Amino acid sequence: MRLSEITKNLNIIKTVGDMNMDIAHVAYDSRKVKRGTLFVCIDGTTADGHKYIPQAYENGAAAFLTQREVRVPDGTAMIQVEDTRYGLALAADAFFGHPTSKLPVVGITGTKGKTTTTYMVKAIVEKAGKKTGLIGTSANMIGDEVLYSTRTTPEALDLQELFAAMIDKGMDMCVMEISSQGLMLHRVTGTELDIAVFTNIEKDHISPTEHKDFADYFNQKLKIFKLAKRALINIDSNKKDEIIKTCSEYCSEYLTYSMKDANADIYADEITANSDSVQFRVKTPWFEDGISIGMPGLFNVSNALAAIGVCGMSGISQESIKSGLKRCKVKGRTEIVASGNGYTVMIDYAHNAMSLESLLREVKKYVAGRVVCVFGCGGNKDISRRYEMGEVSGKLADFTIITSDNPRNEEPESIISGIEEGMLKTDGEYIKIVNRRDAIEYAINNAEKDDIIILAGKGHENYQMFKDKTIHFDEKEIVEEIIKNL
């Protein structure tokens, strides 16, 4: 493809060299450059891509997309733009032939519920006989093929390549999580969404490396509507008026869903929560019927309503919706590991105060024994999350084991001390065990009949990140091993 065709939609400040040269590849990592590559110089938080121009040239780069005027090697081209992240997104979309103009894509954003909702949608759509791709926190999937996922929303180039691969492999639809970082850093710019879903919004992801404050976090989330033709909005959010106002500016049509407002287009009532499932009655524009979800937790009703809305708007049948929801399971989301010894272990990704509070309140409704909560907090994140989660667990759990999550560049003991500050505001009983495996083993060894042990924060993750290393750490494997060795 000609360089001029790849860059024709960019707001170009200056060009140098032959704009009619053929480009065989696009890359933002100089190590992945081959002969005939357009190398995009991303000025990131940890590295400046402009410094890697010599290495990219040595590897075969023919042209450079830059954010400032730089000297490039003779015989190559330079295209200067204001923002190379924005430029990368549009260039990638053009290079792969605008894939989302050919593939219906559902984008889901919100503070919580994104992962579970994407899996529910995939389960329903596949029950209807359609091939479905999925992009998100747990994994990227092309039908049954599971691909490694490094972040919730892939970088723009990787995302557009993934869409193109889904088209090549015959996918009928793609459902994806869209993070606030994905919107802020233009990873989804150029993507056309058939439906945008806004699940909820609460304080989260506020730190020096994420968002400066809640207003910035919320405003980045709202950008999803600029990409979409239609939308689906949870009106149980206390920000519903602002969400609907922004949606109305960009989307030609939207529907609402709720567990509280009977005037919503999609509404749930007659809800019954059990230890392994939830039943409710739903009213929609397409049908009214009883629904059963094969996962526990009242919050999963809201996720199911979003999935029902997406699938109803996509013309999926009532039978497929019911059957898909009943059979859907999500790794690391209210995932039950039976002990065979009278107690239960639940693995969940709840990694902030809002998610943990919602989970603990729901579990307490149906558990006959104690609720034992094992959790930590990630390093290099907003430290207020530590106090808040400690206070939530202290108030709601019968016993808490404070441990490590992903300490990253921080000392685990320092993070645990922050959690303990919140815990000390309550009368909750707790113990501190720095090593997470030891903490899980302690919980299981001291479990009593009818207890539920909640392992919160890691969910689907199969690793643990430390300052000097990353280790394999799959909580389901660990639990099964400990129980087996009892």
Task: Answer for the pair 295, 303: CB distance below 8 angstroms, yes or no.
Answer: no
The distance in angstroms from the start CA to the end CA of the chain is 62
Say which residue the tokens 């979409």 belong to: 228
Report residues of the chain scoring pLDDT below 70: 204-206, 209
- List the one residue out of 35, 23, 41 whose CA is nearest residue 60: 35
Q: What is the pTM for the complete model shown?
A: 0.83
Give the helix, strand, coil percentages of the chain, each rounded to 5: 35, 25, 40
In sequence order, which ranges of 190-342 are alpha helices (DSSP H)?
Answer: 214-222, 240-250, 299-313, 318-327
For 345, the 3-state DSSP assignment is: strand
φ/ψ (deg, to 5) at 219: -65, -35
List Cα–Cα distances, 130 to 172, 303, 416, in angstroms. 6, 21, 46
Spell out the domains of the chain, with CATH numbers in brackets. 3-95 (3.40.1390.10), 99-327 (3.40.1190.10), 335-485 (3.90.190.20)
Element (H, E) at 145: strand 145-147
> What's the CA gap between 67 and 71, in Å, rounded?
12
> What's the CA gap between 398 and 221, in Å, rounded?
36
Query: 452 forms bridges with which residues in the sheet?
Result: 344, 371
Query: 288 forms bridges with which residues in the sheet?
Result: 283
Residues near 111 by beta carbon (within 8 Å), at least 6 away in sequence? 199, 200, 201, 202, 204, 352, 354
For 54, the 3-state DSSP assignment is: helix
Residues near 213 by beta carbon (within 8 Å), at least 6 away in sequence? 206
- DSSP string of 424-443? TTS---EEE-SSHHHHHHHH
C-alpha R_g of the chain: 24
> What's the CA gap between 174 and 340, in Å, rounded?
38
| Other beta carbons within 10 Å of 131 | 16
pLDDT of residue 205: 61
